[in-house]
Amino acid sequence: MNIKKASRIEIIAIGSELLTPNFQETNTLYLTQRLNDLGLEVSFKSIVGDDWGNLLSTIKEALSRAHLIIATGGLGPTQDDRTRGAFGESLNRKLIFNKELLEKIRERFRRRDLSMPAINRKQAYVIEGAEILGNKNGTAPGIWLDTSQQIVVLLPGPPHELKPMFEESIWPRLKKTCRSHVYRKVLKIASLTESKVETLISDLYPQSSHVEIATLAYPGQIEIHLVARSEKSQDQAESQVNKLEKKILERLQDNIFSSSGEELEEVVGNLLRRQKESLAVAESCTGGLLSNRLTNIPGSSDYFLQGIIAYSNQAKINSLGLQPSMLEKHGAVSFKTAEAMAKGIKNKAQADYGLGITGIAGPGGVSPQKPVGLVYVGLAWERGTEVSKNIFTGNRKNIKFQSSQKALDMLRRRLQKTQTLSLKSKK
C-alpha cells in the first residue's frame, strides 16, 4: 500500500514510564522529523501504558483511522512488554514462532558470553504475514506489516535501537511509496498581538489553499508557519510558499523580523555585525535577561560591549550617571529614566547604541499609577533617542521576556532604518 501526503499517520508510544511526570519522550519527535522530511505529516500521537485493555483500545482506534501506524516500545522480553500480542489480537492475526529469529537472539547473548534467559524466547514470535526488521543494538526485532489496508510498523523503545532500525529498514521502504515535496517557512513577529496579526492576514487564508497556515502565539512573539507540498516538484512547493509569503509581507511589512528561523537576538546581532556597530545595555527590571539573550549568540563579543544591571537608584546614579534630581522628580520607572539609562550606558561604554529598560516586573513595587507590567524601554544612538511605554501582562518572567523582546525589536527597527538610509545614500 502507498503512503501519500493525504495519508493519516499515527504514532503510538507504548510504556507506562511514558505516563509519568518526569519522562520527556523524544522518539515521537524524531519520527515526526523524519516523516516530515518525506513530506508526510503526523495526524495523531497516542501514549499509552502496559495495561492490556487500554493498549487494545488505543491500537484498535489507530487501526480504524490511520493509514500508517508506527508504534514504539513494549517489544522487550518482560511481562509488561505486550505490544506484539496486542497488535496480533487487534489485527486478528496469530503470533507465529520463528526458529531462525530465536537463533539470532540466542547468538546475540552468546557473543557476550551469556546464555539467553528463557523469557527472551517471547521475542521470537512474529505477527502472521509481517516482515522482521533486524536490530543491531538490542534483542527486540522490529516489524513491518503491510495489510494492503494499512501499514503497521513496530519499533523498539530505546532511542539507540529505534533510530538505526528506522534509518535502515523503515526510511527506504517509506521513501519508495511517497514522492511528495515539501517546503516550510516560519515568519516571526515581535511587536504585534496574535489578534492583530490575524486581523491583518486572515483574509489571505482562503486565497491560498495550497499552503497550510498556522499562527502560534508565545509571550512577546507570534509565528506564522507556512507549509506547501507538491507531488510535482520542490520548486512548485517553494514557489507556493513564497507567493503567499510575499502577500503576508505586504501586510505586515517590517513587523516580521525573521523568515529563516533566526531568533530576534540573532537578527539584531547580524545587523550590528554587518553595520560594524556596537551595543551596550542598562537593565533594571529585566535584571540581566537582555544581556543574557544577546550573549547566548556565539560571537556576540564582536558587537556587545557591556551590560549594567542597575537595580537600585544608587546604582543608576553611580554606574550610569543619572541625576538624583531627575530620578526624584520622575521616579525610577519613567520615560525620562529609561531615556537617561540608554544615553548613560551608550556614553559610558562608548557604544553606537544604548538600550535602557526600567519597569515593574512584579509582583511587588506597584502603585496605583504604576501597575505590574508597566515598562519603559529607551534607545539612544548617535543622533537621537526614542522611548516606548508598554503595559505587559503575565508573570514576572513573562514580563521580563516581553520587555527584552521590545528592546531588541526597537533596536532592530532602528538598525534596519539606518541600513535602508545608507543603501539609499549609496545609490
Q: Segment 227-266, which members bind its own copies (CB under 8 A)? A: none
Max Cα–Cα distance, the chain, nearest Å: 90
Pair 3, 178: CB distance under 8 Å: yes
**Residue whose C-alpha is closest to residue 411's, from 372, 389, 379, 363:** 379
CA dist., res. 155 & res. 70, Å (int): 7
Q: Which is nearer to its own copies, 130 or 407 (CB)?
A: 407
Q: Which is nearer to its own copies, 122 or 130 (CB)?
A: 122
Q: Which residue in the set 2, 6, 17, 175 belongs to the binding site for its own copies (CB under 8 A)?
A: 17
CA dist., res. 266 & res. 281, Å (int): 16
Residue 375 interacting with its own copies (CB under 8 A)? no
Pair 192, 50: CB distance under 8 Å: no
Stretch that binds its own copies, among 91-99, 124-132, 167-175, 284-292 (CB under 8 A): 284-292
Buried b (16+ CB within 10 A) or exposed e, 107-118: ebeeeeeeebee
Q: Binding to its own copies (CB under 8 A): which residues in 152-171?
A: 158, 160
Q: How far is CA 1 from the centre of its chain?
A: 33
Cβ at position 164, least distance to its own copies in Å = 8
Cβ at position 283, least distance to its own copies in Å = 8
Cβ at position 293, least distance to its own copies in Å = 8
C-alpha triplet 99, 100, 104: angle, nearest 5° = 120
Q: Which is nearer to its own copies, 117 or 129 (CB)?
A: 117
Q: Binding to its own copies (CB under 8 A): which residues in 175-194?
A: 193-194
Cβ at position 231, least distance to its own copies in Å = 20
Cβ at position 129, least distance to its own copies in Å = 27
Residue 353 interacting with its own copies (CB under 8 A)? no
Cβ at position 298, least distance to its own copies in Å = 6
Q: Binding to its own copies (CB under 8 A): which residues in 78-117?
A: 78-80, 111-114, 117
Cβ at position 218, least distance to its own copies in Å = 8
Q: Which residues pair with 260 in a beta bridge?
A: none
Cβ at position 181, least distance to its own copies in Å = 18
Cβ at position 337, least distance to its own copies in Å = 15
Residues 6+ apart with CB under 8 A from 82: 50, 52, 55, 74
Residue 56 interacting with its own copies (CB under 8 A)? no
Residue 225 backbone phi and psi in degrees, to 5: -100, 125
Residue 207 interacting with its own copies (CB under 8 A)? no
Residue 23 interacting with its own copies (CB under 8 A)? yes
Residue 54 interacting with its own copies (CB under 8 A)? yes
**What are the DSSP E strand ranges found in 209-277?**
211-218, 221-230, 256-258
Q: Binding to its own copies (CB under 8 A): which residues in 383-422?
A: 391, 393-398, 400
CA dist., res. 61 & res. 17, Å (int): 22
**Residue whose C-alpha is closest to residue 129's, from 152, 99, 103, 109:** 152
CA dist., res. 90 & res. 367, Å (int): 64
Stretch that binds its own copies, among 212-220, 236-244, 323-331, 378-386 (CB under 8 A): 212-220
Cβ at position 299, least distance to its own copies in Å = 6
Stretch that binds its own copies, among 86-94, 211-219, 229-237, 322-330 (CB under 8 A): 211-219
Residues 6+ apart with CB under 8 A from 206: none
Q: Which is nearer to its own copies, 293 or 336 (CB)?
A: 293
CA dist., res. 62 & res. 161, Å (int): 24
Per-residue string for binding with its own copies, 316-335, x by CB under 8 A? Answer: --xx----------------
Q: Which residue in the set 39, 220, 307, 359 belongs to the binding site for its own copies (CB under 8 A)?
A: 307
Cβ at position 287, least distance to its own copies in Å = 3
Q: Which residue in the set 33, 92, 148, 325 belongs to the binding site for its own copies (CB under 8 A)?
A: 33
DSSP 345-401: HHHHHT-SEEEEEEE--SSSS--SSS-TTEEEEEEEETTEEEEEEEE--S-HHHHHH
Q: Which is nearer to its own copies, 36 or 98 (CB)?
A: 36
